A and B are shown apart, each in its own frame.
Chain A
Amino acid sequence: MVLDVRGLTMDFGGLRAVDQVDLQVNEGEIVALIGPNGAGKTTFFNCVTGMYVPTAGTVTIARPGTDARQITRMRPHLITAQGLARTFQNIRLFPEMTVLENVMIGRDCRLSAGILGAIMRNKKTVAEEKQVVLDSYAMLEIVGIGRWANETAKNLPYGAQRRLEIARALATEPFLLLLDEPAAGMNPQETRDLVALIRRLRTDHQLSIFLIEHDMSLVMTLSERIYVMDYGKLIAVGDPGEVRRDPSVIKAYLGEDVSA
């Protein structure tokens, strides 16, 4: 098990956005979290990645082959260094930086150069910088946008920006990739390419993938297990077939009357 969340709860004042959620991701699995708008999916994501400090509950992770460790209440940059990387629902690139530089920031937590190294430009720093450029370029090739390496990030086409976010996340050397609505705003062709890319990432890079998604066809074809949230609570878990037939899921998505 690479991710084990127990009893995660998040209150915003009097509002309980996430209520006692248990969720597990196994090694090499693609797991999706779905639910209607405002169900608390992104809040859940933010609690796991340390952007929010959860009110209660624990988050435990284990890089395959190592001991499990608790990351609840850890600061986000440390969690990323532990091997969890994420993308954002509304793309959050560094718009004025080049595509390559965006990925280089992803490499940052694996680097060691300091201020003195930067000023002196000693052998170690120079070598590290050279390596960063090459590693980052390789990430771009993995997601298929290498030809845009020196383009300003904001000038990329939309689909490529989504890919760049994935490349940047990959650069942090994660074992678990968290994708927040990766197919949002994509056309069917782009979505198909994305499915292929996510599958390839899993097999080629030994990744486990946990994603939030609205696009049902993508969720159903891609994920092995699906968690469904509504009003902050987990209402169903299972493989795509089970979830599709689950009456509470149909109710949450389509409303009470159509539940038959």
Chain B
Amino acid sequence: MSSQATTQPQPGRYLAYAWRSLLVSIWFAILTFPIIVIRANTITGTITWRWHNIGWIVGGTFVGSWIWRYFLERKRAGAEATMGPLRQRLAAARAVVTQAARRPAVARGGIAALLLLVVAFPFVGGMYQTNIMTTALLYVVLGLGLNIIIGLGGMLHIGYIAFYALGAYSYALLNLHFGLNFWLALPVGALVGGLFSLAIGIPVLRLRGDYLAIVTLAFAEITRLVLENWSSLTFGTAGIRNIPRPAIAGIRLTLPQTTTFVYFIMILMVVLTIFVVNRLENSRIGRQFVAMKEDFIACQAMGVNIARTKLAALGLGGMWAGLAGVVFAARTTFINPASFTVWESIIVLCTVVLGGMGSIPGVITGALVLILVPEYLRAFAQFRMLLFGAVLVTMMVFRPGGLIQKRRRAYTISAQEKQVAAEIGDPGIQG
């Protein structure tokens, strides 16, 4: 902060940016030449050369690359050192908000406002909005569940959607054959999700990182293929229809009413998930998870049973997917294997990574952003994947910890307790 002059990029820098950006844009022009410039008409057998397009490519890449470099440089120089007036104001605003949030009256008011918003949403927003929000909430639960495995336990699991599928199918099938109702199906789905997660966890206990990712990815595909091909049990690609919606003992609800009802079920489930995950995180179990993620050799050497810790994380994570799966089946009333592709796993993974691994508010934000934004940007549906990719790459470069980064908890130790501890230790040797 003190050395303003040295952190300001020098004019020579800009020239260097320009030169490199020019190289990038030329390279890009050559790369995209066959698709952007040449258009072959196979019917008439003619070729149109669209040279003007290359101008757009070169210009666009040049500007884009230049901006990219500029921000990278600023990032390298350190966020605080190059804090512009806008960011300073933002930081000041944030400080005011956090200060205010600490006051109980403000905090209570904030919670009340949030509660009101949540309760009023389906009545103000209408059925379409409520449906979208319910989907987003499903992903919040999935994200928080996967967060136990990835964010806390540090296991890169790409087959998470399989447990979601198993939850959904267990409700659909048990209802079809034994008439099991939605409420009973919830714990059953959770149990199925958790048990299957454990079952695939045991053989992969020794695997970490990329290897674990590959195995879990394969597991998700196997699950989907089994669902698709074991027609006598799962009805294959035709799927299962007429799955009953959630109902309260005998009262028949209209469709809009059910939509609202499911929305509130999801709200309750999200609250329950936050509650449980938060408590797990701030406990011996959560500490074991994080230690395992940070350094599993040291963790083992300090007396933590790694095998049990891994299985605990997998089992707990799988349960939430199973639970969410039951709600999914009940809400859509129709499921088939097409809903449970690897792509869905990737989306859930992205919500965790984008939001901030291990951070509950982060994952919630991530899920809401990733599910809601594409819904409201339907007009740009063509570019959705392009934007998605661009956002993820930008995030990984400029904010690798996610939107809301995890902060470790500080413990308070009273002065009196410190005194007791200090008497045990020798004050003669410090630092």
Contacts of A129 on B, CB cut-off 8 Å? Answer: 283-284
The CA of A111 and the CA of B284, in the complex, are separated in Å by 8
Task: Tell whether B297 is near chain A: CB-to-CB under 8 Å.
Answer: yes
- Give the residue of A75, A101, A117, A146 whose beta carbon is less than 8 angstroms from that of B287: A101
User: Do residues B300 and A137 form an inter-chain contact, with CB atoms below 8 A?
Assistant: no
**Contacts A100-B411, A101-B408, A138-B424; A118 near B297 (Cβ below 8 A):** no
Interface size on B, residues (CB 8 A): 41
User: Do residues B425 and A108 form an inter-chain contact, with CB atoms below 8 A?
Assistant: no
Task: Tell whether B312 is near chain A: CB-to-CB under 8 Å.
Answer: yes
User: Do residues B294 and A95 form an inter-chain contact, with CB atoms below 8 A?
Assistant: yes
The CA of A157 and the CA of B430, in the complex, are separated in Å by 13
Contact with B along A78-107 (1 / 0, CB 8 A): 001100011010001111111011001110
Name the CB-closest residue of B to A96. B294
User: Do residues A88 and B298 form an inter-chain contact, with CB atoms below 8 A?
Assistant: yes
Q: How large is the interface on A (under 10, 10 to 19, 20 to 34, 35 or more residues)?
A: 35 or more
Task: Tell whether A172 is near chain B: CB-to-CB under 8 Å.
Answer: yes
Task: Tell whether B291 is near chain A: CB-to-CB under 8 Å.
Answer: yes
Task: Tell whether B54 is near chain A: CB-to-CB under 8 Å.
Answer: no
Contacts of B429 on A, CB cut-off 8 Å? Answer: 144, 193, 196-197, 200
The CA of A196 and the CA of B425, in the complex, are separated in Å by 13
Name the CB-closest residue of A to B304. A108
User: Do residues B421 and A138 form an inter-chain contact, with CB atoms below 8 A?
Assistant: yes
Contacts of B213 on A, CB cut-off 8 Å? Answer: none
**Contacts A144-B431, A159-B431; A51 near B301 (Cβ below 8 A):** yes
Grouping DSSP codes into helix (H, G, I), strand (E, B) and loop, the A interface class, with mixed when no group exceeds half, is helix
- Which one of A77, A104, A171, A200 has the greatest number of beta carbons of chain B within 10 Å? A77
User: Do residues B301 and A49 form an inter-chain contact, with CB atoms below 8 A?
Assistant: yes
Task: Tell whether A222 is near chain B: CB-to-CB under 8 Å.
Answer: no
Contacts of A109 on B, CB cut-off 8 Å? Answer: 302-304
Name the CB-closest residue of A to B300. A76
The CA of A169 and the CA of B303, in the complex, are separated in Å by 10
Task: Tell whether A186 is near chain B: CB-to-CB under 8 Å.
Answer: no
Name the CB-closest residue of B to A145. B431
Contacts of B302 on A, CB cut-off 8 Å? Answer: 77, 80, 85, 105-106, 108-109, 168-169, 171-172
- Which one of A106, A121, A159, A197 has the greatest number of beta carbons of chain B within 10 Å? A106
Task: Tell whether B50 is near chain A: CB-to-CB under 8 Å.
Answer: no
**Contacts A105-B299, A133-B411, A150-B411; A141 near B422 (Cβ below 8 A):** yes
The CA of A85 and the CA of B409, in the complex, are separated in Å by 26
Q: Give residues of chain B (274-304) contacting chain A, Cβ–Cβ below 8 Å.
A: 276, 279-280, 283-288, 290-291, 294-295, 297-304
The CA of A119 and the CA of B300, in the complex, are separated in Å by 24
Give the Cβ gap from B112 to chain A, nearest Cβ, in Å: 25
Give the Cβ gap from A6 to chain B, nearest Cβ, in Å: 23
Q: Give residues of chain B (172-198) contacting chain A, Cβ–Cβ below 8 Å.
A: none
Contacts of A51 on B, CB cut-off 8 Å? Answer: 297, 300-301
Contacts of B284 on A, CB cut-off 8 Å? Answer: 108, 111, 113, 118, 125, 128-129, 132
User: Do residues A98 and B300 form an inter-chain contact, with CB atoms below 8 A?
Assistant: no
- Give the residue of B286, B304, B306, B424 whose beta carbon is less than 8 angstroms from that of A141: B424
Name the CB-closest residue of B to A116. B285
Give the Cβ gap from B136 to chain A, nearest Cβ, in Å: 25
Between A and B, 28 residue pairs with Cβ closer than 8 Å are: A51-B300, A77-B306, A81-B303, A88-B301, A93-B295, A96-B408, A97-B287, A98-B410, A101-B409, A105-B304, A108-B284, A111-B284, A118-B286, A121-B279, A132-B284, A140-B425, A141-B424, A142-B424, A143-B425, A144-B430, A146-B422, A146-B425, A150-B410, A150-B411, A168-B302, A193-B429, A197-B429, A200-B426
15 more A-B contacts (CB under 8 A) besides A113-B285, A121-B279?
A75-B305, A80-B301, A92-B298, A94-B291, A95-B295, A97-B287, A105-B304, A108-B303, A119-B276, A137-B413, A142-B426, A144-B429, A150-B411, A171-B302, A172-B303
